Amino acid sequence: MHILSGACIETRALDELIPDWKEKDAPLKTPVTEDAFAFLTKTGRIPIPILKGMPLDNHGNYVVRLGHVVEWLGAQAEELGVEIYPGYAAAEILFDDDKVCGIATNDVG
């Protein structure tokens, strides 16, 4: 997955993780107001209905720039004491008595 483009985000997980995300100025500013889906042909398009509950039904979701969302989530995590190491990938999860106590990063340089 990459964070260079936009996305449509469903906020249920965010509601559970950070219930006051709206008050914390999360970068979710553009609610989806309309959906359209079509099959394109050589000469035109054939509209395909999006029924409520289908995966392409984005009512209630937000159009976002993923980079802004990731940056904001990182700041929220750091406020809770999480250490973030940009440029390093997690290579292994470290456990202490069945509890996560950290991660080992990949070799770099």
Q: Which domain holds residue 15?
A: 6-84
pLDDT tens track for 84-93 = 988 888 899 9
Token code pair at residue 50: 């999006």
The structural domain count of the chain equals 1
pTM summary value = 0.74
Secondary structure letter of residue 18 according to DSSP:
-
Domain annotation covers residue 92: no
**pLDDT tens digits, residue range 6-62?**
899 999 999 999 999 999 999 999 999 988 889 999 999 999 888 777 777 888 899
Is residue 47 domain-resident? yes
Cα–Cα dist 82/60, whole Å: 30
Assigned domain for 24 exists: yes
Which two three-digit tokens encode residue 99? 């509890």
Rounded to an integer, what is the distance from CA 13 to the centroid of its chain?
9
8 A C-beta contact, residue 24 and residue 18: yes
